[in-house]
Amino acid sequence: MSKADPANQSPERGREAWSVEVSHLYRVYGAWTVAFLARRFGSEIAEDLAQEAFLRLARQPIDWRSPKALLARVALNVAQDHLRREQAQKRPRLVGNEDPVDGVTPPDQHEALLHREMVAKLPRNLRDVYVLSRFGGMTYAEIAVHLGISVKAVEKRMTQALKLCMARYRT
């Protein structure tokens, strides 16, 4: 595969050659990029993020030596930008901020205090995930990026935290 060299070509010809390179990259590595993003951020947004990554590549010729490394870096940057935009568009969800569901009474002060104490007793790695999800209103993908772990690890930690919470409520 040849590399686009914009210094040896007119600007228009250089962009045209780079578009061909990016098209080739997409055909060869498109599915890999989607799978890479799906493992980290979920399959529901992976295709959109992958397309945005290739669009970013198409805008500016880059001298690349390792296509997967380049795609991974650009894709992760796209995902982080997406998560930042998403976070900026919504306010954190706070307990008691929503209308109560019919037939469910909001917790009284004693229950709220017990809940806080129970959360405080969780191991730190579980507590961080639980608090970011339940009190911070973050999605599992956002928590994964924030903590530098995989979405699967977030899911496991949340499951463990919920199991511990339920066990403590029962005692």
Poorest-pLDDT segment among 11-15, 28-32, 155-159: 11-15
Fold adopted by 6-89: Rna Polymerase Sigma Factor; Chain: A (1.10.1740)
The distance of Cα 41 from the centroid of its chain, to the nearest Å, equals 4
Spell out the alpha helix ranges (H) of the chain.
11-41, 43-59, 67-89, 109-120, 124-134, 140-147, 151-170
Alpha carbon distance 171, 161 (integer Å): 16
Question: pTM of whole model > 0.85?
Answer: no
Residue range(s) occupied by CATH 1.10.1740 in the chain: 6-89
pLDDT bucket at 131, cuts 50 / 70 / 90 = confident
Residue tagged 């002060």 (tokens): 109
Residue range(s) occupied by CATH 1.10.10.10 in the chain: 109-170
Measured CA to CA in angstroms, residue 80 lies from 49, 50, 89, 131, 159 at distances of 10, 13, 14, 21, 25
The pair of three-digit structure tokens given for residue 45, joined into one six-digit string: 């947004």
pLDDT at 101: 54
Long-range contacts formed by 56-60: CB under 8 A, 24+ apart: 57/22, 57/25, 58/18, 58/19, 58/22, 60/18
The distance of Cα 23 from the centroid of its chain, to the nearest Å, equals 26
CATH for 109-170 (1.10.10.10, 3.30.750.24, 1.20.140.150, 3.40.50.300): 1.10.10.10
pLDDT at 75: 87
∠ CA 74-40-33, rounded to 5°: 45
pLDDT at 89: 63
Instruction: Find the radius of gyration of the CA atoms of the chain.
Output: 22
**Beta-carbon count within 10 A of 83 CB:** 20
pLDDT at 97: 47
